[in-house]
Chain A
Amino acid sequence: MEMSTILPILDGTLRSATPLLFACLAGLFSERSGIIDIGLEGKLLIAAFFSASVAAMSGSVWIGALAGIGASLCLSLIHGVASITFRGNQLISGVALNFLASGLTVIVGENWFKLGGRTPQLGGASRFQEITLPFADALRDVPVFGPIYAELISGHTILVYVGLLAVALTWWVLFRTRFGLRLRAVGENPESVDTAGISVVRLRYTAVLIAGVLCGLGGAYLATGLAAGFVKEMSAGRGFIALAALIFAKWRPWYALMACLLFGFLDAVGNRFQRIEVFDVVVPTQFMQALPYILTVVILAGFVGKAIPPRAGGTPYVKER
């Protein structure tokens, strides 16, 4: 294959992987603290909607992104109240929030813009613009490195770089800070954390809210970076693919990046080639779309290394008296 074929695919990989990455890291924080979050999808969706519509109204993509994060945080808070304070079922709460997001985004969108659930087309300052990194054009003619730098590394919106940084930051927070140690502990053995005099409730709320912020960024990227506006159901299962990537990564940040890039790559390949042949057999596009899910089931089946979730995941913590 030629460089000119590979680079656009890799470029597309990075773009497709970014919303997955934000959602996946969100899930990572939440699940590491023992709160299972299948509402990632809903948070992405509601953040996408609010970031796009507020950006359209205010003309500023940054205010839009803040609104998206705010909306996502609201859902996180509901999830927290339901699953931490009232010790409800975390799975059910997640399911409910997904429906809430897909319903509210259309109703409110229709009410605000009357465009059948869409937001107006974004452009200019109401959308994240692609950033050309320094020397990208100057280095373009350098063999091998030049095109890679100019095409692949340069020329993304800022949120793509934020997403990559978030991986490093997540790793550092989880594995190099006291907070991270406690967060991981509370997902494995909340009793021990409680015994040490640290509030389980506060730790878990913090984790859930961090997840809200990350999903907010992912949703903002979806509607104001990747696309130019919100359309109905635009998260299109990405929250669930992120969940799959999280299992694939076995709840570790760097592996999460790898998993998201892998799923992003599948997406990019599927978008670019309508017809894929492997050894003269045509691979249906539907198979490519289903591949992340199939791979996740295979991983979950434990045939390719076992994925062991945080031990206290899904269990409400009841303080002993």
Chain B
Amino acid sequence: MEKMPKWVDVALIPLINLFLALVVSGLVVLYIGESPLEAIAIMVNGAVGSTYGWGYTLYYATNFIFTGLAVAVAFQARLFNIGGEGQAAIGGLGVALVCLALPWPHWTLALPFAVAGGALFGAAWAFIPAYLQAKRGSHIVITTIMFNFIASAVLVYLLVNVMKKKGSMAPETARFPEGTFLPSAYDMAGWIGLTFSRSAPLNITFFIAVLCCIGVYILIWRTRLGYQIRAFGQSEPAALYAGISPVKTTVICMLISGGLAGLMGVNAVMGEAERLVIDSVQGAGFVGIAVALMGRSHPMGVFLAGLLFGMLYQGGGELEFEKPAVSREMILVIQALVILFTGALDNMVRMPFERLFGRRKPKSPSKPQPPAGDKTHKAAEPEPVKP
């Protein structure tokens, strides 16, 4: 695909898609009887107008970067991991188990183990769908959806029957020991002599998310494994011919993906709630899909899209506060439209541009497409995944 300038592909088309999604969302706001422009102003101001706003925006963004990277890594192998929600929930369980296991003396000791626990549990939850896809050809989309539901049942069971704090009615664990409390943005700003909102949940996990972005970039574009994942994603027969094992690549890629989703638990469970509650993920696993699509499955894109969705979530909360007529579910609508326009209706915007820039070439989508159906039967082979 040499016909379109790169900036059109990675910047212009996503922006147009986003714009379309916002226009349609604006129509919904207009229908409710509020002014869309005013709504946007409130959202932007609420999200980035104060350190309090930033603290929430970046906290949400941290969650979305983890789940977005999870989906993006799987997309590289053309696997559609829709199970981020369940993997993050089970990852949170892993984090909670680590935090409750020992009377941790200091967070610097607890954090590495919590990271390992979250990643391990998240990866484990992705393992069965991955293995079944690789070995038995079970559609990974369906199995990961099923595993989301199973994860939520497992968590409810554990919190109601096993891990509930003694004498408490609420289905949640006891508060973690003090040695596991991660430094918040307020603490960290204090170290360097700045002031930051005390009540925002942003914490040191944000930097782990940034490190993960860099790590994923190195993994996908600078290592042999990453090459194998991309080769496998672009053409399974070619990868097989080159001696890349489809089973191994699928399983490893999904383990990494599940592990990244599981890391979200460090932020939400250890960093914010400081206990394990029912539904600690709150849909962030699904937001990850939107984030990965918007970010074109590239870590840099995921970071920016995660930031955008963080703003959307924090701004949406403020919007509901200021304009009760616009309920929080507006965020879901915007999210849905972003997924629809950047993911499913991408060709609607892309085709005219391809016609504009291209000479004569077959029309085919040119972004990382997760597998749909059987890998070996592709009528229209999507183009290579080029960031």
B166 interface contact, C-beta 8 A: no
Q: Which residues does chain A contribute within 8 Å of B377, judged by CB atoms?
A: 311-312, 315
Residue pair A315, B372 in contact (C-beta under 8 Å): yes
Partner of B378, one of A243, A287, A315: A315
Least CB distance from B61 to A in Å reads 19
A284 to B145, CA, bound (A): 21
Interface string of B318-357 (1 = CB under 8 A from A): 0000000111011111011101100111111001000000
Contact between B327 and A296, CB atoms less than 8 A apart: no
Interface of A: prevailing SS = helix
Interface string of A287-311 (1 = CB under 8 A from B): 1011001101100111000000101
Main secondary structure of the interface of B (DSSP, over half): helix
Residues of B with C-beta under 8 A to A117: 327, 329
Q: Are B28 and A107 in contact (CB under 8 A)?
A: yes
Contact yes or no, A89 B372, CB < 8 A: yes
Decide yes or no whether B3 CB sits under 8 A from chain A. Answer: no
Q: Answer yes or no: A225 CB below 8 A from chain B CBs.
A: no
Would you call B16 an interface residue if the criterion is a C-beta within 8 Å of the partner chain's C-beta atoms? no
- In the docked arrangement, what's the CA distance between A115 and B94, Å? 39
Partner of B339, one of A99, A286, A317, A318: A99
Q: Is A100 an interface residue (CB 8 A)?
A: yes
Q: Is B237 an interface residue (CB 8 A)?
A: no
A-side contacts of B345, CB under 8 Å: 81-82, 86, 88, 93
**Cα–Cα, bound, A27→B177 (Å):** 49
Of B32, B80, B146, the residue contacting A296 (CB under 8 A) is: B146
Give the shortest distance, in Å, between B340 (CB) and chain A (any CB).
4
- The answer to whether A107 and B330 touch (CB under 8 A), given A297-B146, A300-B138, is yes
Please name all residues of chain A whose beta carbon is closer than 8 Å to the beta carbon of B149 when the two chains form the complex.
237, 240, 290, 293
Knowing A81-B345, A83-B344, A237-B149 are in contact, say whether A95-B339 is a contact too (CB < 8 A). Answer: yes
From the candidates A92, A286, A312, name the one contacting B343 in the complex (CB within 8 A). Answer: A92
Instruction: Count residues on chain A whose CB falls below 8 Å from chain B CBs.
Output: 56
Question: Which of A86, A287, A312 contacts B157, CB < 8 Å?
Answer: A287
Given A92-B293, A106-B327 in contact, is the A301-B157 Cβ separation under 8 Å?
A: no
Q: Are B141 and A38 in contact, with the CB atoms below 8 A?
A: yes
Q: How far is the CB of B329 from chain A (nearest CB, A)?
A: 4
A96 interface residue, CB < 8 Å from B? yes
B330 touches A103 (CB 8 A): yes
Q: Is the CB of A107 within 8 A of B32?
A: yes
Given A89, A191, A284, A290, which contacts B150 in the complex, CB threshold below 8 Å? A290
The interface centre, meaning the residue of B141, B154, B289, B372 with most chain A CB atoms within 10 A of its CB, is B372
Report if B363 contacts A (CB, 8 A). Answer: yes
Which residues of A93-119 are within 8 A (CB) of B? 93, 95-100, 102-104, 106-107, 110-111, 117
Contacts known (A38-B145, A107-B32, A314-B372); A100 close to B340, Cβ less than 8 A = yes
Known: A88-B347, A96-B340, A300-B136. 7 other contacts (CB 8 A): A100-B333, A103-B332, A106-B329, A287-B153, A297-B128, A297-B132, A302-B136
Q: Measuring CB to CB, which residues of chain B are less than 8 angstroms from any residue of chain A? A: 28, 31-33, 80, 82, 128, 132, 136-139, 141-143, 145-147, 149-150, 153-154, 156-157, 160-161, 286, 289, 293, 325-327, 329-333, 335-337, 339-340, 343-348, 351, 362-365, 369-374, 377-380
